[in-house]
Structure 1
Amino acid sequence: MGRYILKRLLLIIPTLFLILLTNFILVQAAPGGPVEQQIAQIELAQNKGETTGAAMGGGSILSDGVYRGSRGLSEEMVEAIKAQYGFDKPAPERFWIMLKNYAVLDFGTSFFKGKPVTELIVEKLPVSISLGLWSTLLIYLIAIPLGIYKAMHHGSGIDKFTAVMLAVGHAIPIFVFGVILLVLFAGGSYWQIFPLQGLVSENFDQLSPLAKIKDYFWHLALPLTASTIGGFAALTYLTKFSFIEELSKQYVLTARAKGLSNRQVLYGHVFRNAMLIVIAGIPAAIVSIFFTGNLLIEIIFKLDGLGLLGFEAIVQRDYPVIFGTLFIFTLVGLLLQLISDISYHLIDPRIDFEGR
């Protein structure tokens, strides 16, 4: 097992390299980068200045005191803007510099926020972790017992009814649930019971400890509801069919023939084997909840976490933030997959990953 763990840890390096390289090439090829945006902003300000100057019988003067008239930016200023964002160097050199910095977890400085990317990630991470952990906990607390119940009562009326509810919940996108909850309960066309946005109130620091807890969960109520409704259907069915498969095996029939009760068979024999496939899916579920589903939830409810940070960075072409958050997301996903494999082995030592 130790050799397998070492091999997987070493494989993280080329995996991160290929993902960063692919996204670096795609992002560099995309139009509308930070240089173009900065030039467009300066030219817009220049054109406004020209309009004002024309009305007063004059022209436009930029911050360097040089009159530009209607000629646009000088070549020297364009080159200065490129140098400001590091685009005065060839792409391979920029990528190599980025790799060297990332090796020591230096993700650079945000183009548009003017703060180190590491500082931004640390600042936003608690919001995403808070939402992700509570969402994951609720989804597993609901999905696993429900999946076991459906497996034990397969074909019953409750099984069919919940199947319809799960199908509806799975079919409707998570952001639709978020919008519906906002309209119904956050000051839309009906009731204003919950806050419209944010994770805590503005006066959070002045509240008592108990009031802080209440305020925190009051703000989380709608985001967690939307995230949970849209996320537990797949896990419920995974649990159900895993248990159904185990219940049909010969060792279960033998256990029942020996006079064991259904409870003894379920928790003494079936549970450990059936939960293996559920455990194997934990990393994918967590990555999906943290970095996909909750990205939309953070945007809808204006929760200032990594998802919203990454979305704003993509819109603004803030490359240091884009690559920094991508690096963290990928690294966390790979480590979670490794943890899943280790847990898989601990639950069933017969599973040997050395042969992989």
Structure 2
Amino acid sequence: MFAYILKRFLLMIPTLLGVLLLTFVVIQFVPGGPVEQYLAESKAGVQGMGGGDSGAGEGGGLAYRGAQGVDKQRLEQIKKLYGFDKPAHERFFQMLGQFARFDLGRSFFQNKDVWALVKEKLPVSISLGLWTFFISYLVAVPLGVAKAVRAGSRFDFVTTLIILVGYAIPGFVLGVALLVIFGGQLQWFPLRGLTSPNWDELSLMGKVTDYLWHITLPITAMVAGSFAVTAMLTKNAFLEEIRKQYVLTARAKGLSEKQVLWKHVFRNALIPIITGFPAAFIGAFFAGSLLIETLFSLDGLGLLSYESVIRRDYPVVLGTLYLFTLIGLVTKLVSDLCYVWVDPRVKFD
């Protein structure tokens, strides 16, 4: 076991380096980098203050002179500010050195450490992810067991139809419908945010109620299709176990159907589901839904990643990519180790 874990940790290094290298190379060829964006914003600001031929005064300000653009000295200062005065390979190895110390760098445009930005956005993603995770599994697993026990019945047919319809409707489309009906026409739920403006003035019970009131619509939009795969996986796993010989033997010994189902079938059937718990649980913290966050004005990690890519905020893009990839690799290892915990018969050698 120790040798297997050590081997997996060693394999994480080239995988992590490959992901970072590929992303870094792609970034070098993407037009509209941070320098260009800075110049475009500065140009727009100067033109808005007095036209294209006006300059920025003394003190090292931007000297924009119509079609001539920015003077070379100022351009070199901007490149040095963003670290683009160094060769690409030197910047890459410098980035690796920072990441080895778990220094994710500093945002170009928000003037904050990437760690600070992640911590700011994490509560929103945790709220969305954890509620989605727990509700999905609490609904999907019992539903899958019930469908397996009643396989071929009207209940199985109706629930399968409902699951497939929910799975087919994109969460964003469902979110729009929920907003229009329950947020706009009926005005039962708020349209944006996780809390009300007077959050600090509310009592403890009032804060809990206000939070649940705000989170209902986005969670409903995210959960509707997320439990379909788990429910069908649970059903198929139980059906496969129910048809095995040891179940027939247990029934022949006189055990009740309840004892057979929960004492013998349950543990074996849940192996593929339980082993996915670590990945799903950790993913709940970081797998923010961009569309849901945008639709309901929730400032989470999904929106942060999207805005960072659009603005070419490379420290945020690469820093969050490094963090999420590392967490994903470790979580995958934990998921594999769960096989041994659930089924001691599994041997990695």
**Equivalent position of 1:182 in the other structure:** 179
SS in 2 for 1:96: helix
Gaps of 5+ in 2: none
CA distance in 2, matches of 1:180, 1:334: 37
CA distance in 1, matches of 2:161, 2:66: 67
Shift of 1:290: 5.0
Shift of 1:172: 1.4
* Conserved? CA contact 1:283–1:333, under 8 Å: no
Shift of 1:302: 1.7
| AA of the residue aligned to 2:4 | Y
**Equivalent position of 2:223 in the other structure:** 228
**Equivalent position of 2:213 in the other structure:** 218
- 1:191-202 aligned at under 5 Å gives the runs 191-202=186-197
- Bigger drift between 36-45 and 145-154 goes to 36-45
CA distance in 2, matches of 1:287, 1:28: 31
* Conserved? CA contact 1:178–1:226, under 8 Å: yes
* Conserved? CA contact 2:43–2:64, under 8 Å: no
Q: Does residue 256 in structure 1 map to residue 235 in structure 2?
A: no
Q: Does residue 333 in structure 1 map to residue 328 in structure 2?
A: yes
* Conserved? CA contact 2:126–2:284, under 8 Å: no
Counterpart among 84, 97, 100 of residue 97 in structure 2: 100
**Equivalent position of 1:282 in the other structure:** 277
CA distance in 2, matches of 1:10, 1:207: 51
| AA of the residue aligned to 1:184 | I
CA distance in 2, matches of 1:42, 1:323: 25
Shift of 1:70: 3.6
Q: Does residue 308 in structure 1 map to residue 303 in structure 2?
A: yes
**Equivalent position of 1:55 in the other structure:** none
SS in 1 for 2:270: helix
**Equivalent position of 1:25 in the other structure:** 25
CA distance in 2, matches of 1:183, 1:290: 28
* Conserved? CA contact 1:147–1:240, under 8 Å: yes
CA distance in 1, matches of 2:31, 2:23: 14
Partner deviation per Cα, 1:237-279 (whole Å, 9 max, x = no partner): 0100011011111111111111111111111111111101112
**Equivalent position of 2:118 in the other structure:** 121
Q: What is the TM-score with the length of structure 1 in the denominator?
A: 0.92
| AA of the residue aligned to 2:242 | L
- Bigger drift between 308-317 and 325-334 goes to 325-334
CA distance in 1, matches of 2:279, 2:6: 21
Shift of 1:196: 1.2
Counterpart among 65, 68, 80 of residue 65 in structure 2: 68
Gaps of 5+ in 1: 53-58
| AA of the residue aligned to 1:139 | S
Shift of 1:3: 2.4
RMSD after superposition? 1.9
Shift of 1:219: 1.2
| AA of the residue aligned to 1:30 | V
SS in 2 for 1:194: coil
**Equivalent position of 1:162 in the other structure:** 159
| AA of the residue aligned to 1:62 | A
**Equivalent position of 1:273 in the other structure:** 268
Q: What is the TM-score with the length of structure 2 in the denominator?
A: 0.93
* Conserved? CA contact 1:306–1:325, under 8 Å: no
SS in 2 for 1:232: helix
**Equivalent position of 2:38 in the other structure:** 38
Q: Does residue 88 in structure 1 map to residue 82 in structure 2?
A: no
**Equivalent position of 2:5 in the other structure:** 5
Counterpart among 338, 342, 348 of residue 343 in structure 2: 348
CA distance in 1, matches of 2:23, 2:234: 35
Counterpart among 109, 112, 118 of residue 112 in structure 1: 109
* Conserved? CA contact 2:288–2:300, under 8 Å: no
Partner deviation per Cα, 1:200-255 (whole Å, 9 max, x = no partner): 12221221111111111111111111111120001100100011011111111111
CA distance in 1, matches of 2:323, 2:253: 52
**Equivalent position of 2:139 in the other structure:** 142
CA distance in 1, matches of 2:195, 2:330: 31
Shift of 1:36: 0.9
Shift of 1:67: 7.0
Shift of 1:350: 0.6
Structure 1 residues 305 and 49: CA distance shift in structure 2, 3 A: closer
* Conserved? CA contact 1:177–1:230, under 8 Å: no
Shift of 1:72: 1.6
Structure 1 residues 70 and 235: CA distance shift in structure 2, 3 A: same
Q: Does residue 299 in structure 1 map to residue 294 in structure 2?
A: yes
* Conserved? CA contact 1:302–1:308, under 8 Å: no
CA distance in 2, matches of 1:83, 1:314: 21
- Bigger drift between 327-336 and 343-352 goes to 327-336
Partner deviation per Cα, 1:149-206 (whole Å, 9 max, x = no partner): 000000100110111111111111121122111111122xx22111111111222122
- Bigger drift between 40-49 and 229-238 goes to 40-49
Shift of 1:121: 0.9
